[in-house]
Amino acid sequence: MPDSVAPKVAAEIASWLRHLGAERRMSLKTLEAYRRDVLQFLAFLAEHLGGRASLNDLAALKPADVRAFMAARRSQNIASRSLMRTLAGIRAFARFLERTGKGKVGALTAVRTPKIARTLPRPLPVAAAKRVADPKLRAGEERAPWIIARDAAVLGLLYGCGLRISEALGLTRADLGGGRYARDAITVTGKGRKQRMVPVLPQVQKLVDDYVELCPYDLPEPGPLFVGAKGGPLSPRVVQLAMAGARGALGLPETATPHALRHSFATHLLARGGDIRSIQELLGHASLATTQIYTEVDAERLIEAYRSAHPRA
């Protein structure tokens, strides 16, 4: 722990992170983000209070102290969304202290969370979403055929199954090359290590089969399905670059990211009459409210179509 953290507070942070990892099943990235948020707050308090904050100091904080922290972060050009996430991490630690009898940090609940402008997901048009995963789109590039096939397979999974990049890159050869649900469904491990079953379209399975056939590396069943140019696990950055290449070839806007393919999966299902509850399960959302944002996207598109096509609009 940094010098700005008192020993007893450091011990509570370690206990809190163990609790989140073991009982709440949070990912390592989430745990690291929470740890970073709390350490930033404690580093500010060490300077603000003139010394390392103890557990008693945390319980004695005033709303003005928290607002001073927010102002300091604002001065560093931190966006409202990032500041909101930081406060959420700090408040989670404060709730842990209260539950374990280490004191209540009331100042954190007395300060309002920054307001952020709500933005709707921006899905791709259906035709563009289909073409993104077409290997022929990048046939003219000076890249090995197996790499072009690999990128097409990953992008096909993002749109065809609604996966996150981390979920697609977390698949093993066994997930799509054998087993009980081979060639019609896969079991995906999402956020919080929660598993869900997702159907696999024949077109998507073919993209994966083509990649496996062309791949020059041995792909053992327990190992990663998608590998990089040197045979190691594929980096998410490579997928982002592949999407950027497809975006340029199709003339799509900057919002056409790999995650936009997941948005497209949900929006296109909803537009074709998909049930919102079923879409929630396919996406692995813990809350239906998270999935319902796609109903707003679909409604917005209907209004745009009406305004552009109706004679009296």
Active site residue 19: no
| Catalytic hit among 294, 306, 307, 310 | 294
Active site residue 263: no
Active site residue 48: no
Q: How many CA atoms lie within 13 A of 225 on its CB side?
A: 28
Active site residue 191: yes
* CB 155, CB 168: distance < 8 Å: no
Active site residue 150: no
DSSP-based three-state secondary structure for 61:
coil
Token pair for 32: 């690291």
Active site residue 164: yes
Radius of gyration in angstroms for the set of CA atoms belonging to the chain, rounded to a whole number: 23
DSSP-based three-state secondary structure for 53:
strand
| Catalytic hit among 150, 247, 262, 268 | 262
| Catalytic hit among 19, 67, 130, 259 | 259
| Catalytic hit among 52, 102, 173, 285 | 285
Round to whole Å and give the CA distance between 192 and 78. Answer: 27
| Catalytic hit among 52, 164, 173, 268 | 164
Token pair for 269: 């299902």
Round to whole Å and give the CA distance between 218 and 255. Answer: 35
Give the CA distances from residue 167 to residues 163, 186, 192, 226, 288, in Å, rounded to whole numbers and listed in that order. Answer: 6, 11, 12, 11, 20
* 142: alpha, beta or left? (left if phi > 0; alpha if psi -120 to 50): beta
| Catalytic hit among 143, 191, 196, 301 | 191
DSSP-based three-state secondary structure for 245:
helix
Give the CA distances from residue 57 to residues 93, 138, 204, 267, 269, in Å, rounded to whole numbers and listed in that order. Answer: 15, 59, 56, 48, 52
* 91: alpha, beta or left? (left if phi > 0; alpha if psi -120 to 50): alpha
Token pair for 196: 């869900």
Token pair for 305: 């179509």
Residues with active-site annotation: 164, 191, 259, 262, 285, 294
